[in-house]
Amino acid sequence: MASSSQVYRSTRSSSKDTKSFEEAVIQGLASDGGLFIPPVIPQVSKDTLFNKWSKLSFQELAFEIMRLYISSSEISDSELKVLVENSYSTFRSSEVTPLAKNITGNKENLHVLELFHGPTYAFKDVALQFVGNLFEFFLQRHNSNLPESEKKKLTVVGATSGDTGSAAIYGLRGKKDVSVFILYPTGRISPIQEEQMTTVEDKNVQTLSVKGTFDNCQDIVKAIFGDKEFNERHNVGAVNSINWARILAQITYYFYSYFKATGGVEGKVKFVVPSGNFGDILAGYFAKQMGLPVEKLVIATNENDILDRFLKTGYYERSDKVAATLSPAMDILISSNFERLLWFLAREYEANNDDIKAGSIVNNWFQQLREQGKFQVDNKIIDGARKDFDSERVSNEETTKTIAEIYERSTNPSKYIIDPHTSVGICAAERIIAKDKDNTIHYISLSTAHPAKFADAVNESLGKFSGYSFEKDVLPLELKKLSTLPKRLKFVERADVELVKASIEEELTKMKL
Ligand SMILES: *Cc1c(COP(=O)(O)O)cnc(C)c1O
């Protein structure tokens, strides 16, 4: 394999500078505002795919894939194996991401890739369990021979509108030399979400319930990142969806589920991915570029449809307002990871495969986005994107309708219950199946959350069926028990940066990490 695939560069950079995997992961966002990408995507032959990789367990496959993106001088084979094993030992399924095959019978070839068997019942666990272990690994190595006073400590600060905070907390709980502070708007997240975040006992975790909105919380986090002095003192870090290690960890399940769907041979496969920040489906793009013969990656969006509009018009344009939908984890104005795809498209179709030119093209686009709220790309670029991607936009009405339809139509297992994000994907998949009329194609629709986490939408769809019960049919015992555990949270009575900073410092002293 080309060793140059193991360095990283920024999507906005027009310099020759590259970073190591460790630097890209610890830094998160590049200093020019761009995202880190591996400019060389490692290639995997069909022989390796269908004679070797198709027979591997999820963990073995994760190791092989990650190995191609991380230099062994940074993380040795044995160290990487331990990181992978530890990261997926917390999952409830031995397959980590099992595939529910042919849920509506053989005619449709509709398979559901269940990504929610991690500790918080959300797809983000697949990446964040790995990222937490990786942070600890790098810090421990750095700190191993240093006296206590010189040890590097990381303070992770993030804001959540509900679902993602718990995946970050469960990824970092108990990790050495890392503390984590998650802000959420008081009274504006669901009881299950609050219970998941506030019942974690580990000393290095602190939730901050802030009297205000999610936007207030996010603004405070941004201000903290911008506060140079606070940052230097506490080494503030992020685990948000732009971290390269998250994308990397997500590549595995595209390979794994492909082999499960086709029986380990080459076949026609389309993936349908409920998308928001474009991190999940971008991992599918990497799998396809590595050589996995995927026909199409289908972007499924809710009413926040910047990606669907881009693919149809070539305009990348921010709307004025986020629509609050039934699939809140996909309620975004801008899909941050889309910038990574744009870099590869710019390089291939406008920059004659020149990394540096690609960086300056992307930099230009994002300057236009900042100044004018939009940019337009050349037809070559959209045509290039359409080779790999298709897109569908799904409304709230269709989301609830699809949850009910799948409950009624599923036979394997019968009365299969999906969450509203998964429903956006399946509704899109059904549309494509009807258009394609080709029963040799396998459709793998990604299921990104357990239905128990979005009780309101699921109950609204299924309440009309006699015999349906949320408690009995949806709620796992483990989540039910959370309501009986003591809650640990710190209340911040005003959405104010100084108050939050003071709370963090007070708690850090108590944590004595
Ligand atoms: C984060 C999330 C998504 C969207 O994934 P992206 O990587 O942001 O596109 C979809 N569904 C659920 C439940 C999520 O938590």
* Candidates 19, 55, 101, 124; catalytic one: 124
Centre of ligand 1 from the C-alpha of residue 76, in Å: 31
State the CB neighbour count (10 A cutoff) for residue 479.
17
Positions in the chain short of pLDDT 50: 1-4
- Which of 280, 285, 339, when mutated, tests ligand 1's pocket best, judged by the most ligand atoms within 8 Å of its CB? 280
Helices (H), 70-162: 77-88, 124-143
* Number of independent structural domains in the chain: 1
126 lines ligand 1 (CB under 6 A): no
- Establish whether 228 is a catalytic residue: no
Rounded to the nearest angstrom, the distance between the alpha carbon of 107 and the centre of ligand 1 is 28
Cβ of 166 below 6 Å from ligand 1: no
DSSP result, 211-275? SS-HHHHHHHHHHHHH-HHHHHHHTEE---TT-HHHHHHHHHHHHHHHHHHHTSS--EEEEEEE-
3-state class of 96 per DSSP?
coil
Please give the distance, rounded to the nearest whole angstrom, from the Cα atom of residue 357 to the centre of ligand 1: 31
Can you give the CATH number for the domain in which 341 is found? 3.40.50.1100
294 CB-near residues (< 8 Å, 6+ apart):
254, 258, 269, 270, 271, 284, 287, 288
Q: Report which of 224, 200, 208 is spatially closest to residue 506, judged by C-alpha positions.
A: 208
pLDDT of residue 2: 39
Q: Give residue 32's pLDDT.
A: 92
Cβ of residue 118 lying under 6 Å from some atom of ligand 1:
no
Can you give the C-alpha Rg of the chain in angstroms?
22
In a domain, 161, yes or no: no
> Residue 428 and residue 163: Cα distance in Å, rounded?
23
**Domain-located, residue 19:** no
Domain membership flag for residue 131: no
Q: Is residue 270 part of a domain?
A: yes
**Residue labelled with tokens 């809650």:** 487
Q: What pLDDT is stored for residue 4 in this prediction? A: 46
CA 185, 186, 189, 194 torsion-angle sign: positive
Q: Is the CB of 391 under 6 A from ligand 1?
A: no
**Residues 3-31: tens digit of each pLDDT:** 445 899 999 999 999 999 999 998 888 98
Q: Tell me how far apart the alpha carbons of residues 340 and 285 are, in angstroms, rounded to a whole number.
A: 10
Which atom of ligand 1 has the smallest separation from the CA of 275? 9
For residue 328, the CA-to-ligand 1 centroid distance in Å is 9
- What three-state secondary structure class fits 2? coil
- Is the CB of 124 within 6 Å of ligand 1? yes
- Residue minimizing CA distance to atom 2 of ligand 1: 329
Contact 315/14 with Cβ under 8 angstroms? no
Say what the pLDDT of residue 513 is.
Answer: 65
Residue 266 in tokens: 């080459």
Cα–Cα distances (Å) from 420 to 251, 414, 425, in that order, read: 23, 18, 9
Residues 6 or more apart whose Cβ sits within 8 Å of residue 428: 272, 298, 300, 392, 394, 445
Inter-residue contact 294 to 271 (CB < 8 Å)? yes
* Pocket mutation for ligand 1, best pick of 113, 117, 123 (most atoms within 8 Å of C-beta): 123
- Using left for φ > 0, alpha for ψ between -120 and 50, and beta otherwise, residue 331 falls in beta
Q: What is the pLDDT of residue 138?
A: 96
Question: Measuring CA to CA, which residue among 431, 127, 125, 123 is closest to residue 299?
Answer: 431
Provide the 8-state DSSP code for 414. Answer: B
* Residue 132 within any structural domain of the chain: no
Is 105 a domain residue?
A: yes
Q: Among 263, 235, 234, 294, which residue's Cα sits nearest to residue 446?
A: 294
d(CA 40, ligand 1 centre) in Å: 26
Burial class (CB within 10 angstroms; exposed 0-12, middle 13-18, buried 19+) of 4: exposed
Q: Is 278 in the pocket of ligand 1 (CB under 6 A)?
A: yes
Ligand 1 in reach of 155 Cβ (< 6 A): no
334 in Cβ contact with 304 (< 8 Å): no
Kindly state if the Cβ of 329 falls inside 6 Å of ligand 1. Answer: yes
Question: Which domain does 400 fall in, by range?
Answer: 99-118+249-456
Query: Cα of 450 to ligand 1 centre, how many Å?
Result: 12
By CB atoms closer than 10 A (0-12, 13-18, 19+), residue 60 is middle
For residue 467, being part of any structural domain is answered with no
Which residues, in sequence order, are bridge partners of residue 490?
Answer: 208
The pLDDT tens digits for 64-109 are 999 999 999 999 999 999 999 999 999 999 999 999 999 999 889 9
491: in domain: no
Residue 5: predicted pLDDT: 57
